Amino acid sequence: MTSMKILIVDDSITIRRIISTALKTVGYSETVEAANGKEALAKLENGNVDFIITDWNMPEMNGLDFIKEVRSKPMYSSLPILMVTTRGTEHDVIEALQAKVNSYIVKPFTPQELKEKIEGILKTVQVNTL
């Protein structure tokens, strides 16, 4: 088990539960949840989030606006962000990358795919910070 704290942002309680369970099975037990971008920003301010997994389509503040807001703050400029969404067109992926998301995964995903994505991001982040 790793001590990394992961913020899960999704308006669907089902998906939050599935992600949280999947994370536990692949060794990430510390999670915090938010139902939209606004709520996630508040949770982020509360502290010590090491990684963000966010959906795109959410009420109040969608995932893309949330990522832009996070990236606009210098202290979160290198915080790893993985987008987990149903949106799978090339245009969507590029839009998310332009908003500075680290990687992108489409639903439905497996715990293994989630693990590989997280590890891939962490490797890149480590290389970039060396």
Partner 1 sequence: MAQKEKIDDTVETTESVIMALHKVITLLDRIKNAIEESSNKIPKVSVQLNKVTQATELATVEILDVLDVMGTKILTIETSLTEFDQAGISESRMLMLSGMKQTLSELKEHTSNISIALQIQDISTQKINAANHLIESVRYELLDELNYFETARNKTDNARRQAAGETAASKSFDINASYMKTPDHQSKIDDVISAWQEKNTI
Instruction: Catalog residues that contact partner 1 under the rule CB under 8 A.
Output: 10-15, 17-18, 21-22, 25, 56-59, 62, 85-90, 93-94, 97, 103-111, 113
Nearer to partner 1, 70 or 82 (CB): 82
Nearer to partner 1, 46 or 112 (CB): 112
Q: How far is the CB of 54 from partner 1 (least distance, A)?
A: 13
The one-letter code for the residue type at 11 is D
Q: How far is the CB of 124 from partner 1 (least distance, A)?
A: 9
Residue 12 CA to residue 9 CA, distance in Å, equals 9
Q: How far is the CB of 38 from partner 1 (least distance, A)?
A: 13
Nearer to partner 1, 32 or 106 (CB): 106
Q: Which residues of 102-120 are buried (b: 16+ CB within 10 A; e: fewer)?
A: bbbbeeeeeeeebbebbee
The one-letter code for the residue type at 74 is P
Q: What's 76's DSSP letter? A: G
Residue 44 CA to residue 39 CA, distance in Å, equals 9
Nearer to partner 1, 47 or 90 (CB): 90
- Kindly tell me the sign of the dihedral angle through the C-alpha atoms of 18, 45, 79, 2: negative
Q: How far is the CB of 50 from partner 1 (least distance, A)?
A: 22
* Tokens 């982020």, located at residue: 44
